[in-house]
Chains A and B, each alone.
Chain A
Amino acid sequence: MTATDATELPPVDERLVIEEGDTQKVIEVVEEDGKRFKQTTVYNVVREEVKMPSRVLARRSWAKFGKSARAPPGPEPMTTSISDEVFIEFTAAREAEAAEQRKQEEQRQKAQQMSVPYRLPVALRQEKTEEEMPKRPQTGAYRAPRTRNGAASAFDEEQPSLQITNLPPWTTDDDLRDLCNAIAPVRRVFLAKDKRTGDAKGFAYVDFNMRQDAATALEKLDGHRYGPSVLSCEWAKPRRK
């Protein structure tokens, strides 16, 4: 051995695995920007026993054949993909929602009728509306007529969405979904995350299927203790303003 050999660092791909009970220690050499580091990672090993018939177990190690003969073990991206989340749309929920929508529609119509005691004939009405048309906002940005003058549409106000704040930074989408699903089926969960670190920013929006569900969740989640923090929950403000 020469002197240069003695100072030579171990090669990059060297990997040492030490198993100690329920932990696994992996010592490896990594190269970053031309410098070599020793990196030690400790894993907690969770062993799960799955029982399956011996025939099934034997089939797990079959060699691939036919068109897949040359494919490496594991699913091929060409033929197998995980598709988007789908939900069972329960008929009972759908009918209840439709009934609620009908009811709301009726109430809205009734309210409208109450506030407009006399409807002008069509010809006159058109003239009047032209006069009353609000002037185009000077900002120049286009806004849908129903949202002009800061008016949120009735549609937005009745969304079954909640805003949850004061979430701990390690919260994940699944945590939040589990938390809310325990109260009522959730349609959508949006957890604001830091783009760089991926930690939760502390607030989230949750959509439920029905307004009533959301109301129950609001009651339960406001002031709910979640890990070290106390959640605060309120109706989500309309998305467009």
Chain B
Amino acid sequence: MRPIALNGHDRALTKVRYNREGDLLFSVAKDKVPCVWYSHNGERIGTYEGHEGTVWSCDVDYLSEHLVTASADNTLRVWDVQTGKSLAMIETNTAVRSCCFSLDGRSIMYSTDHAMGYPCYHRIVDLQQLKQEGGKAKPRYETEIKVKEKRITSLLWGPDSCFTAHANGDIVSWDLETKKPKAFQSAHKGIIMDLQFKSDFMFMISASKDHTAKVFDCDTMDIVKTFETERPVNAAAISPTRDHVILGGGQEARDVTTTHGAAGKFDARLHHLVLEEEIGRIKGHFGPINTLAFHPTGKGYASGGEDGFVRVHEFDDIYFDFEFEY
């Protein structure tokens, strides 16, 4: 396959995301300007200008009308996907680390960093209210996490409940009525970098700096599968069509200059979802992979690296012909 390399960012990528149909690809990086691309040919449709700091996360709603971005300039912004206009903004006391839409696209959940004496906040706001009242809109839901080591690094909001991944390696499922944790799993020994659903919302996969990725049952929060590697895992995604998992990572950015390129292990790794065994590797990035997303049809994936490139892959027939022998 010949991946499309997207060079729209000057700095390390933090998140890539496909919309529901998979025709649009959103990318955010540490360089302040989120981009949207056509996924079939890599054409850049536009950029969303307004942030003044690293953009940590983004999410697009079900109808691909709104984009929400979380930034280190202490704001959360909502954009009109088609025109790039900023529709609403929430100012917070600390950096907004993660954000996501509810499945119906009517609410936004976000979390802020624990810094400068402020705790980590976990909030839900109503999109309509936010568009009307702007930053003054009162959050519908709010909890605070006072321990710095337990700050939220990643969020997910499924059909039944919402999940938070924490810096100390915990994953918590929340009851939004009582604001109490429903289920809890101390899954990892290191910071959790990424949390993603399988397309059917039955399972989710976490990626952690402790060199492992784990698959959880969303109902019981049991660890179902563990994928062990020899490097920090920054991103993990489950294929929507095949029993495959893709993991991306590599050594820490600060160690990159002191080691040989081949030793960095910057390739994406395919694992079998059920058997946990490695299937293959795909090279390409010359820095660690920070984020991964499967195309909703499972025909390809996009990866964003510390090197500032997004690579959009479309699998060859050899991938679809491949059967794992066991």
Chain B 267-309 against A: per-residue CB contact (8 Å), 1 yes, 0 no? 1001000000111111110000000000000000000000000
Bound Cα distance from A148 to B46, whole angstroms: 60
A91 contacts partner chain B, Cβ-Cβ < 8 Å: yes
**A53, B278: Cβ atoms closer than 8 Å:** no
Bound Cα distance from A59 to B21, whole angstroms: 11
Bound Cα distance from A60 to B45, whole angstroms: 10
Bound Cα distance from A86 to B280, whole angstroms: 12
The minimal Cβ–Cβ distance linking A204 to chain B, given in whole angstroms, is 21
**B49, A66: Cβ atoms closer than 8 Å:** yes
Report B-chain residues with C-beta under 8 Å of the C-beta of A56. Answer: 21, 23
**B44, A76: Cβ atoms closer than 8 Å:** yes
Report B-chain residues with C-beta under 8 Å of the C-beta of A78. Answer: 7
Bound Cα distance from A185 to B2, whole angstroms: 16
**A86, B44: Cβ atoms closer than 8 Å:** no
Report B-chain residues with C-beta under 8 Å of the C-beta of A59. Answer: 23-24, 64, 82
**B23, A86: Cβ atoms closer than 8 Å:** no
**B47, A90: Cβ atoms closer than 8 Å:** no
Report A-chain residues with C-beta under 8 Å of the C-beta of B46. Answer: 64-69
A79 contacts partner chain B, Cβ-Cβ < 8 Å: yes
Instruction: Return the contact of A80 from the options B1, B33, B42, B325 (Cβ within 8 A).
Output: B42
Chain B 189-230 against A: per-residue CB contact (8 Å), 1 yes, 0 no? 000000000000000000000000000000000000000000
Report B-chain residues with C-beta under 8 Å of the C-beta of A66. Answer: 33, 46-49, 84
Bound Cα distance from A60 to B84, whole angstroms: 16
**B44, A65: Cβ atoms closer than 8 Å:** no
B145 contacts partner chain A, Cβ-Cβ < 8 Å: no
Bound Cα distance from A68 to B21, whole angstroms: 23
**A83, B45: Cβ atoms closer than 8 Å:** no
**B48, A82: Cβ atoms closer than 8 Å:** no
The minimal Cβ–Cβ distance linking A53 to chain B, given in whole angstroms, is 6
Report B-chain residues with C-beta under 8 Å of the C-beta of A32. Answer: none
A9 contacts partner chain B, Cβ-Cβ < 8 Å: no
**A75, B48: Cβ atoms closer than 8 Å:** no
Residues in B1-38 with C-beta less than 8 Å from chain A: 1-8, 21, 23-24, 33, 37-38
Residues in A163-180 with C-beta less than 8 Å from chain B: none
**B43, A76: Cβ atoms closer than 8 Å:** yes
Report B-chain residues with C-beta under 8 Å of the C-beta of A79. Answer: 6-8, 42, 44
Report A-chain residues with C-beta under 8 Å of the C-beta of B188. Answer: none
Bound Cα distance from A75 to B6, whole angstroms: 10
Contacts A81-B4, A82-B4, A83-B3: A88 and B64 contacting too (C-beta < 8 A)? no
A5 contacts partner chain B, Cβ-Cβ < 8 Å: no
Bound Cα distance from A56 to B48, whole angstroms: 20
Instruction: Return the contact of A85 from the options B2, B23, B277 (Cβ within 8 A).
Output: B2
**A80, B44: Cβ atoms closer than 8 Å:** yes
Contacts A83-B311, A86-B283, A88-B280: A55 and B319 contacting too (C-beta < 8 A)? no
- Nearest residue (CB) in B for A91 is B278
**A80, B279: Cβ atoms closer than 8 Å:** no
Q: What would 17 A/B residue contacts be, using CB atoms closer than 8 Å?
A: A56-B23, A59-B64, A66-B33, A66-B48, A67-B44, A68-B46, A73-B43, A78-B7, A81-B5, A83-B4, A83-B284, A86-B1, A87-B282, A88-B322, A91-B277, A91-B278, A91-B279
On A, residues with C-beta under 8 Å from B are 52-53, 55-56, 59-60, 62, 64-69, 71, 73-76, 78-92, 181, 185
A62-B82, A80-B4, A89-B282 are known contacts; what are 16 more A-B pairs with Cβ within 8 Å? Answer: A55-B21, A56-B21, A56-B23, A64-B45, A66-B84, A68-B46, A75-B43, A76-B43, A80-B37, A85-B2, A86-B284, A88-B281, A88-B322, A89-B281, A90-B322, A91-B279
